[in-house]
């Protein structure tokens, strides 16, 4: 067997074949990089020794309905972990092959192979960032990727009560393909499709209304206080920021009690003043409850935007306002044509972030209405009139144990919101300046 290498590139094929046959073999036989080759070979040996277990875990995941030794959910997680291990191994294998070919290309250029010392120095030089980040990558895989994949795969099972829950002995959980997606989105089950349509429309409306009411409410307050030029302006600003300073859960819970139809102080006061003759169902009427959600969210969110907009307004040059006054612009014209456009330009990313936050604003809905009042479809699907997607997911998981349907909705939320998150990330200063 000829272990020599030629510098004309003709030996590339045998280096490639050796590296493909066994990880690190090309480094050991041809490049004489024994340390790197032994490390790579050891990785493959460890994988081969554990391959029986890995393959068994994958098989158990594929055949969820077979076997009674472990819960199906545990076998599903084990299978996902095994799949991640397999993917990591394949990635390392590909990297080892590329490393061998790069080593041969360097041999063709320099006419000699690197010594073990040079190889190790190169490993801790060129490849040091990869080595240093590898523990983080492993943690991300097992604490981010695995749960995410588990949630996705759950949507392709029938994991739900009453007949398809994981049991200590035996299981009724099995793969059902796209059945859950069909039931939810494409009319496979009219109850679920109807509930999804209603919740999805309200979620989008809620996201827009909750964002822009708070934004423009905060902008108007900030502009009013900024233009007032009163000595007590800081006092008013401090008073208005109090709702934001108090934890939102407490604020929402207080409003829930204030608006209670039976014993709420608001209804009681209105009756005593003779304004109403019977209690107003603030939180028990589907349309009125949605309006209340928007108003209570404004109570919490307007002060936040007031602070942000105030900071933006102080950055606007006073000369701009002075020029507008000289030209005869009124206060409203100054606000509409100078303040608002400049502030809006600076705060577009904040609006997008606020929209994505409100789409997932669990507390504002759940702690105020609990997703109620109920609708005609609530008995089957558990979706209330004020539920947004995230609160519906919570109720499906914690109350109704419809894990497969909840996973489908979670996947939808991820797909919808991921582009917004990516947009916000790529528009950060650190990303644009190449620091990330």
- pLDDT, residue 287, reads 95
Determine the pLDDT at residue 112.
76
Strands in 263-415 per DSSP E:
none
Q: What is the pLDDT of residue 231?
A: 74
Instruction: Please give the Cα distance from 269 to 266 (Å, whole number).
Output: 5
Q: How many CB atoms lie within 10 A of CB 133?
A: 11
Q: 387 with 374: CB under 8 angstroms?
A: no
Query: What's the confidence (pLDDT) of residue 259?
Result: 96
Q: Are 30 and 108 in contact (CB under 8 A)?
A: no
Q: What is the pLDDT along the chain (436 residues), one digit of tens a residue?
A: 667 778 788 888 888 999 999 999 988 888 888 888 898 999 999 999 999 999 999 998 988 876 555 678 888 999 999 999 999 999 999 999 998 898 888 888 877 777 767 666 666 666 677 777 888 888 888 898 999 999 999 999 999 887 777 665 555 788 999 999 999 999 888 999 999 999 999 999 999 999 999 999 999 999 888 877 777 788 888 888 888 888 999 999 999 999 999 999 999 999 999 999 999 999 999 999 999 999 999 999 999 999 999 888 888 888 888 898 888 888 888 888 888 888 888 888 889 889 999 999 999 999 999 999 999 889 899 999 999 999 999 999 999 999 999 999 999 999 988 888 787 777 766 556 655 5
d(CA 362, CA 339): 33
Structural domains of the chain in order of their starting residue, each with its CATH number = 12-160 (no CATH), 184-432 (1.10.3720.10)
Beta-bridge mates of residue 157: 175
**What is the total residue count of the chain?**
436
Residue ranges of E strands in 246-398: none
pLDDT at 177: 92
Alpha-helical runs (H) found in 155-189: 179-185
Please tell me whether residue 134 adopts helix, strand or coil conformation. Answer: helix
Per-state percent for the chain, helix, strand, coil, to nearest 5: 70, 0, 25
DSSP type of residue 264: -
Token output for 61:
């995941």
Q: How far is CA 383 from the centre of its chain?
A: 22
């Amino acid at each position: 067997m000829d272990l020599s290498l030629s510098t004309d590139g003709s030996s590339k094929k045998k280096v490639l074949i050796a590296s493909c046959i066994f990880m690190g073999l090309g480094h050991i036989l041809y490049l004489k990089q024994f340390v790197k080759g032994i490390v790579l070979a050891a990785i493959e040996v460890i994988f081969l020794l554990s391959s029986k277990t890995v393959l068994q875990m994958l098989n158990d995941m594929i055949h969820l309905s077979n076997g009674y030794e472990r819960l199906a959910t545990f076998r599903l997680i084990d299978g996902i972990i095994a799949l991640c291990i397999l993917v990591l191994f394949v990635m390392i294998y590909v990297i080892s092959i590329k490393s061998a070919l790069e080593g041969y290309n360097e041999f063709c250029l320099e006419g000699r192979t690197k010594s073990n010392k040079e190889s190790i120095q190169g490993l801790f030089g060129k490849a040091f960032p990869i080595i240093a980040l590898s523990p983080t990558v492993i943690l991300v895989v097992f604490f981010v990727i695995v749960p995410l994949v588990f949630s996705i795969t759950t949507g392709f099972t029938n994991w739900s009560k009453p007949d398809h829950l994981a049991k200590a002995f035996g299981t009724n959980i099995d793969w059902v393909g796209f059945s859950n997606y069909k039931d939810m989105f494409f009319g496979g089950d009219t109850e679920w499709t109807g509930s999804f349509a209603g919740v999805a429309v309200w979620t989008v409306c809620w996201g827009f209304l909750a964002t822009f009411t708070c934004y423009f409410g905060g902008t108007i307050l900030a502009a009013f206080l900024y233009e007032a030029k009163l000595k007590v302006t800081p006092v008013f600003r401090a008073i208005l920021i109090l709702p934001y300073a108090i934890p939102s859960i407490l604020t929402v819970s207080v409003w829930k009690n204030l608006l209670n139809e039976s014993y709420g102080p608001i209804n009681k006061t209105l009756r005593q003043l003779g304004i109403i003759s019977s209690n107003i169902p603030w939180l028990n009427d589907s349309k009125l409850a949605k309006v209340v959600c928007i108003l209570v969210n404004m109570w919490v969110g307007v002060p936040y935007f007031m602070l942000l907009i105030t900071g933006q307004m102080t950055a606007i040059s006073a000369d701009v306002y002075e020029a507008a006054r000289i030209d005869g612009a009124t206060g409203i014209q100054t606000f509409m044509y100078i303040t608002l456009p400049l502030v809006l330009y600076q705060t577009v990313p904040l609006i997008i972030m606020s929209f994505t936050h409100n789409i997932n604003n669990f507390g504002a809905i759940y702690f105020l209405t609990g997703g109620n009042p109920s609708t005609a479809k609530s008995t089957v699907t558990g979706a209330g009139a004020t539920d947004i997607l995230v609160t519906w997911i919570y109720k499906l998981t914690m109350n109704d144990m419809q894990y497969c349907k909840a996973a489908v909705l979670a996947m939808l939320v991820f797909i919808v919101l991921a582009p917004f998150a990516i947009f916000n990330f790529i528009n950060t200063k650190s990303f644009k300046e190449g620091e990330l």
